[in-house]
């Protein structure tokens, strides 16, 4: 009797897994269509970068709709990178001479503004995707300010901040396009 109940249990689990695994395995195929559509948007200049970035990001691969993909891109890629860059600017500023320290703190402030704009874009996606698009696009001005402020410096920390800022500049069109895709 104990053998048959264990056998029944394992057969039941095996059947259940087949139903659960089949839909999960089809998710990436559907999600890749959202990714392909996003990367074909006119605001995306570097389509190979877009495809490589999003297909290698697991959360994007499992996005079940264009709005979910937009939320993942904004919160997972852009906000995450913005927070990393803010931390770097703030921590590194303490180790810099006064003139560069001021530049790093000002850069931190610009990235904080980017974070606020991205948070606003994320919140607006479901109700006003056009406003979300505008908020994501407005981050370009802050990125330009950082590049103009730090770009002339030759020290290692400044070069690292520039690299992080350039990465944000490259990621930002993905967020803009994602919001545009939701707007239709």
- How does pLDDT run across 114-167, given as a tens digit for each residue? 999 999 999 999 999 999 999 999 999 999 999 999 999 999 999 999 999 999
| Continuous H helices in 40-154 | 47-55, 58-61, 66-71, 80-93, 98-124, 129-137, 139-150
Local confidence band at 31 (pLDDT 50, 70, 90 cut-offs) = low
Say whether pLDDT at 104 is over 90.
yes
CB atoms within 10 A of CB 32: 16
Domain ranges of the chain: 27-183
Average pLDDT, the chain: 87
CB atoms within 10 A of CB 2: 6
pTM (predicted TM-score):
0.81
Fold of 27-183: Butyryl-CoA Dehydrogenase, subunit A; domain 3 (1.20.140)
More confident residue, 22 or 154: 154
What is residue 184's predicted lDDT score, i.e. its pLDDT?
81
């Amino acid at each position: 009797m104990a053998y048959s109940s264990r056998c029944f249990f394992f057969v039941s689990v095996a059947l259940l897994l087949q139903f659960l695994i089949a839909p999960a395995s089809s998710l990436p195929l559907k999600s890749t269509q959202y990714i392909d559509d996003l990367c074909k948007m006119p605001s995306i200049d570097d389509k190979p970068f877009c495809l490589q970035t999003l297909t290698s990001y697991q959360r994007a691969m499992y996005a079940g709709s264009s709005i979910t993909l937009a939320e993942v891109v904004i919160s997972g890629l852009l906000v995450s990178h913005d927070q990393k860059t803010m931390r770097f600017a703030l921590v590194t500023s303490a180790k810099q001479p006064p003139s560069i320290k001021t530049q790093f703190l000002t850069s931190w402030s610009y990235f904080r503004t980017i974070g606020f704009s991205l948070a606003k874009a994320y919140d607006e996606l479901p109700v006003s995707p056009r406003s979300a698009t505008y908020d994501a696009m407005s981050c370009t001005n802050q990125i330009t300010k950082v590049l103009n402020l730090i770009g002339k410096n030759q020290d290692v920390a400044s070069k690292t901040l520039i690299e992080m800022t350039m990465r944000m500049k490259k990621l930002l069109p993905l967020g803009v396009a994602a919001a545009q895709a939701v707007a239709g």
